Each structure stands twice: as C-alpha cells, then as structure tokens.
Chain A
C-alpha cells in the first residue's frame, strides 16, 4: 500500500488501512516513547494514543513531508505532553553536568557488560531532547534531514549535538569516571 492509498483509507477509517498503518508505525513510536520515558507501560499507552491521534488527524497531514516524519512529530508532542501532565520523572541533567568527567581519570579496560551499563546510564541522564535525538539517529535509521525536521533543529545543529553526545559517551568510556564505575558495580 503506498502512502496516498493509505492516507485515503485512513480518512475513511477503513479497517484495512488502520491495520496497515498501525502495523507499520507502532513499533517506531513505541521505541521513541520507551527511550524518552524509560517506562514500558507508559510507552505502550502513549503508542496507542499516538496511533489514534494520527488516524483522527490524518486530514491535517501535509503531503510535503513524509508520513513517517509526521508520525514522529505527533509522537514526540504526545510524549512531551504525557511527561508534562503526569509529571513523569525523567532524569535530566544539563549537558555540562552529564559530560563532566571527574578529575581523577583512570584508564580502565572495560568488558562488554561494563560498556553497556556505562552507555545506558549515560543515556538515561541525558536531557529529553538528546534522548530523542539519539534514538532517532541510532535506532530509527533516519537521515539527518529527517531528524532536523522532526526535532525542529537545523541540520548543522543536529550534527553538533550528535557529536557532543558522542563525546560524552567516549569520555566516560575511555577515561572512566571512577565514581561512576563504582556506582555501577555496587548498584
């Protein structure tokens, strides 16, 4: 089913179109919601709401952008609304706080599990904006252009933010912040 057939079907709320739409987009929305809320039940609830909203408001979709980009934009708005209304706790530190390795830097050989813990811990401390950006980039295989449209940032800005987030991961991974590692080991 191509996009214009799908949109026509959704406008008429045909079962086949709804099925096709949900099948194609639910997982993308779910992944974004899980990464941003860090809560699976909430993410599933948000996914349902996003699917319903998209179908109800399909008439507002301007065919200038891709359907996928539009779905993400709706999803992002819904996630942020949910977090705001329910005062959901998402760990938020400013970039400086997050990416500030301690002065006591030690070269450490990390095993795979350590690497994963460090990456996921670092990720969870990022701002919602960066979480969104990294999810779109690493998990959703979107082009820079598409990410820029969804995040409403310029492409250059997306590049810079991706690079900085990357540096953050690298800093904690290469010259490990020893307190973070201890924290991980005794968690």
Chain B
C-alpha cells in the first residue's frame, strides 16, 4: 500500500486543487484502500461546505438603475443645456439689437454703437460651440 496522504494532500484533494492526473491517480487509488485517509478527506469536505455556508452572502442587490442613469444623463443634459443657453443667447442678442435701434440710446451711450458687431461675434461663438457639442453628442450615440 502507498503512503498515507499528507494534510496538504487531503485538503487539496478535497478542494479539487489537484488536476494533474499523474498525481491524482495514485491518491484516488490509495483512498479506495485506506479508511483513515478517506475519513480525513471527508472531514476536509465537511469543512469546505461549512466554510462556504458560513461565508455565503445571501442578499442580492440591483444597481442597474443607478448605473444606467449615470450613463444616460450626460447625453440628455448636453442637449438640454445647449437649448437652454441658446434661448438665453437668442433673447440677449434680440435685446441688444432692439436697444441698438433706439437712436436716443445710441446718443446717450456712443460706446455701445458696435452692438451689432458684438452681437454677431457672440452668436458666432455660440453657434460654433453648439455645433461641436452636437457633433460630440451624436458621436456618443451612434459610434
């Protein structure tokens, strides 16, 4: 009869850590003939199931909502913010243009005679910004 299994062999055998057939064969052979080692392996298996049962986590969680929200918000926000700022800018520019038409205003504040120029510059910048944000947003959806 071959020699008894060492403690580490009992543990590794019981935990299916031995995959090499050359090692596994003789161990199996010994176990069929030796009650002592078979008993030790059984104790190891019992311990494994005790440890598994004790450490098991029974609560289940679901974080799908939070994760999905995280990834959908930025895209809608981007558009939302742009629409918001575009409306504000539009109102602001209209106001400037209206004010620019008032002759008495121009006389009172000659330094603001360039309102039309200022307004065009601001709207051009906003348009460029809006265009790039839109491209980025579109890329995010379709790529």
Interface of A toward B, CB cutoff 8 Å = 12-13, 15, 18-19, 22-23, 26-27, 30-31, 34-35, 40, 44, 47-48, 51-52, 55, 115-116, 119-120, 123, 134-135, 137-139, 144, 159, 162-163, 166-167, 169-170, 173
Verify B55–A52 contact, CB threshold 8 A: no
- Shortest A186–chain B CB gap in Å is 20
Q: Which candidate, B31-39, B67-75, B77-85, is the interface stretch facing chain A?
A: B67-75
**B64 cross-chain contacts in A, Cβ below 8 A:** 18-19, 22-23, 26
Verify B68–A19 contact, CB threshold 8 A: yes
Verify B62–A26 contact, CB threshold 8 A: yes
- Shortest B48–chain A CB gap in Å is 7
- Number of CB contacts from chain A to chain B under 8 A: 86
Verify B67–A48 contact, CB threshold 8 A: yes
List 14 contacting pairs A-B, 8 Å CB cutoff, sorted by A: A13-B71, A13-B140, A22-B64, A26-B62, A27-B60, A27-B61, A34-B59, A48-B67, A116-B53, A120-B55, A138-B55, A159-B17, A167-B7, A173-B47
**B50 cross-chain contacts in A, Cβ below 8 A:** 115-116, 119
Cα–Cα, bound, A134→B56 (Å): 11
Cα–Cα, bound, A51→B61 (Å): 13
Interface size class of B (residues with CB under 8 A): 20 to 34
**B60 cross-chain contacts in A, Cβ below 8 A:** 27
Output the nearest chain B residue to A159 by Cβ-Cβ distance: B17
Cα–Cα, bound, A140→B88 (Å): 55
Cα–Cα, bound, A135→B56 (Å): 9
Contact of A18 among B7, B53, B61, B67 (CB under 8 A): B67
Verify B54–A35 contact, CB threshold 8 A: no
Contact of B55 among A115, A119, A162 (CB under 8 A): A119
Output the nearest chain A residue to B59 by Cβ-Cβ distance: A40
Q: Kindly list 12 other residue pairs between chains A and B, CB separation below 8 angstroms, not including A12-B143, A34-B57, A116-B50.
A: A18-B71, A22-B63, A22-B67, A35-B55, A47-B63, A48-B67, A52-B71, A119-B55, A139-B55, A163-B12, A169-B47, A173-B47
Cα–Cα, bound, A144→B12 (Å): 11
Verify A52–B70 contact, CB threshold 8 A: yes
Cα–Cα, bound, A50→B23 (Å): 40
Cα–Cα, bound, A170→B7 (Å): 11
Verify B47–A35 contact, CB threshold 8 A: no
Contact of B63 among A13, A48, A120, A166 (CB under 8 A): A48
Verify A166–B47 contact, CB threshold 8 A: yes
**B111 cross-chain contacts in A, Cβ below 8 A:** none
Verify A170–B57 contact, CB threshold 8 A: no
